[in-house]
Amino acid sequence: MSLIEHLRWRYATKKFNPTKKVGAGELEILKEAIRLAATSYGLQPFKVAVIDDALLKAELRKAAYNQSQISDCSHLFVFSHFTALNPQFIDDYIQLCAEKREQDHDLLKGYGNFMKTTLGNFNEQELHNWSSKQAYIGMTNLLMACAELRIDACPIEGFEAEKFNEILDLNPMDLSACVIVSIGYRASDDPDQFMKKVRLPKSDLFI
């Protein structure tokens, strides 16, 4: 199938079959798709928690306005963005670049310093906006990979981030949950699967 056919197939699944689970092999493909996402400077300033524990999902559901997708899905992906950026994170990235590309580390120091200066000038809100946008790029890769594998998914912003942060102990890691994605397989009686996809025509979307 073509990419467009995959994207036409997917929809925001509202009711999952809680007995059908995503396999380990498929999960690794989804993780790799997120890992390969394009991000600013290639820094990937976010983390992803992949949750399949039933009790933990049930607790998180309470912090997501009791949406059934949270507990009934096979796995819940919680994308968390950096709320602070330690210069060591950039140093580690530059070291990784030098190793992977077999380059002299000293030749990359200038690029690292440039990133430190640019990102260091961000105020707290600007850093939050920037890092959360990077997490959303990762989420988009996840949704596209799910569509190709015929795994259903539902991106969700309707949750209480601070409660998620508390439950998952994210704050001590300078992280904050920004978007979550339930994945799994649709229930046969989920009415949303029978609705026609509604999108703007190209003539209205592109200028």
In the chain, what percentage of residues exceed pLDDT 90?
A: 98
> For residue 165, what pLDDT band results from cuts at 50, 70 and 90?
very high
Give the mean model confidence (pLDDT) for residues 120-126. 96
pLDDT, tens only, 87-120: 999 999 999 999 999 999 999 999 999 999 999 9
Model confidence at 142: pLDDT above 80 = yes
Give the mean model confidence (pLDDT) for residues 162-179. 98
Q: What domains sit in the chain, N to C, each tagged with a CATH number?
A: 3-85+123-205 (3.40.109.10)
Give the pLDDT confidence score for residue 187 in this predicted structure: 98
Give the pLDDT confidence score for residue 193 in this predicted structure: 96
Give the mean model confidence (pLDDT) for residues 130-148. 98
- Work out the mean pLDDT of the chain and round it to a whole number: 97
CA angle, residues 32, 35, 39, in degrees to nearest 5: 150
Give the pLDDT confidence score for residue 194 in this predicted structure: 95
pLDDT, tens only, 67-86: 999 999 999 999 999 999 99
Give the pLDDT confidence score for residue 12 in this predicted structure: 98
Give the pLDDT confidence score for residue 1 in this predicted structure: 67
pTM here is: 0.96
Q: Give Dmax over CA atoms of the chain in angstroms.
A: 59
Give the mean model confidence (pLDDT) for residues 38-42. 97
